Amino acid sequence: MAGVEKTQSPHFMRGVICSLLGAVLWGFSGACAQLLLSQYHIPVLFIVCIRMISAGLLFLIVILISRKSVLVEVLKNPKALLQLAVFGICGFFLCHLTYLMCIDYTNAGTATVLQCLGILFVMIYTCLSARRLPRIRETVGFLLAAGATFIIATHANPSALVFPLPGLLWGIACGLAVAFYMIFPKALLIRWGSLIVTGLGMLIGGIVINIIVRPWTMVVTLEPGSLAALAAIVVFGTFAAFYLFLQGIADIGPLRAGLLGAVEPVSATIFSWVWLGTHFPLIDWVGFSMMIAMVFLITKDKPADMKPDVENPALHERKTG
């Protein structure tokens, strides 16, 4: 396993840059979503449906070019298709839905920081499944996350919330959805590789959700500005972000890529602040810093029973391709 993560990889710098760019683009997509929700009043479900089906189709093109034989194999496997559908709906759809709902009640920076609770929930799940108590590092991470959530939600005043309660609840729900997204597809990643799982999960989930929600029946006025923001979410904040991050995983491994992914809440906060003019008082920055510190504390130098079985899913992707 150490060989996957060693820094002497000839593509190490490419992996670092791709991981950072992917995380920055995820943050950028949060700011674009805030713009669509606050200024153009585009419905959340409309954004999610268009985002998933459009990005899924872009991934399908890449898969047809580079992994066509694997795609044919997956399409002949009903169990795999069912698992991908579950992943697409309970993973991608719920992640996108809860994240955008949290943005709608708060802002892109706050929502992106609260989604980091997903790492905390994964740690709790790991401890429960291993039937052990949290270690010191994990306990400190838990306290940091709890403290950060309290500060962000109340500005250290327990008698009042600084944003509507649904915003906090949607943020916690987003963390739970992210935890499911991180835990559920382990076997799928081993068998099919991350590109196939990401692309088909998003596409199948997008097809199912579009059939259920029927976004074409919604009365939505799309102007040049909202169309540009929606296109940016699909192309840059979803397709390019995931594709770059997958390349980062392939080059430097999921642990280092995951740590670099902590740039996402910083990116979302800066875009929301500089571009959209969202005001963040100093105490918010304290809470944001605590949450990011939690991410580094829990994910860095993980003990053996917290390491994923697949140290580098992209390697399996190459094998099956």
State percent of the chain over pLDDT 70. 90
- What is the rounded CA–CA span in Å between residue 255 and residue 16? 12
The pLDDT, as a whole number, for residue 301 is 52
Mean pLDDT, residues 296-313 taken together: 51
Q: Which of 258, 109, 239, 233 is nearest to 178 (CA)?
A: 258
> 263-289: per-residue pLDDT in tens?
899 999 999 999 999 999 999 999 999
Model confidence at 4: pLDDT above 70: no
| pLDDT value at 255 more than 80 | no
Q: Which of 171, 183, 210 is nearest to 87 (CA)?
A: 183
Residue 88, pLDDT above cutoff 50: yes
| Residue of 309 and 147 predicted with greater confidence | 147
Q: Structure pTM?
A: 0.87
Listed range (24-33, 92-101, 290-299) with the worst mean pLDDT: 290-299
How large is the average pLDDT for residues 244-254? 83
Taking the C-alpha atoms of residue 35 and residue 274, their distance in angstroms, rounded to an integer, is 13
pLDDT score of 257: 81
Query: What is the pLDDT, as a whole number, of residue 249?
Result: 82
Alpha-carbon torsion angle 220, 223, 227, 228, nearest 10:
-150
- In which band, very low, low, confident or very high, does the pLDDT at 23 lie, cut at 50, 70 and 90? very high
Tokens standing for 309?
A: 């079985």
Q: What is the pLDDT of residue 250?
A: 79
**Average pLDDT for 230-244:** 95
Render pLDDT for 162-185 as a digit per residue (tens, 0 to 9): 999 999 999 999 999 999 998 999
Query: How far is Cα 305 from Cα 316, in angstroms, rounded to an integer?
Result: 21
Q: Which tens digits make up the pLDDT trace of 102-153? A: 999 999 999 999 999 998 999 999 899 989 998 898 899 999 999 999 999 9
pLDDT value at residue 5: 43
pLDDT at 3: 41
Q: How confident is the model at residue 300 (pLDDT cuts 50, 70, 90)?
A: low
Q: What is the mean pLDDT of residues 203-227?
A: 95
91 pLDDT exceeds 70?
A: yes
Per-chain mean pLDDT for the chain:
88
Taking residues 23-42, what's their average pLDDT?
A: 96
User: For the chain, how far is it from start to end, CA to CA, in angstroms?
Assistant: 21
The reported pLDDT for the residue numbered 233 is 97
- Contact assessment for residue 46 and residue 100, using Cβ atoms and an 8 Å cutoff: no
More confident residue, 193 or 5: 193
Residue 85 host element (H or E):
helix 78-86
Is the pLDDT score of 239 beyond 90? yes
Tokens representing 286 are 């304290």
Distance CA 260, CA 257 (A): 5
Burial of 86 (0-12, 13-18, 19+ CB in 10 A): middle
Domain boundaries, the chain: 12-320
247: confidence class by pLDDT, cuts 50, 70, 90? confident
pLDDT of 9 reads 58
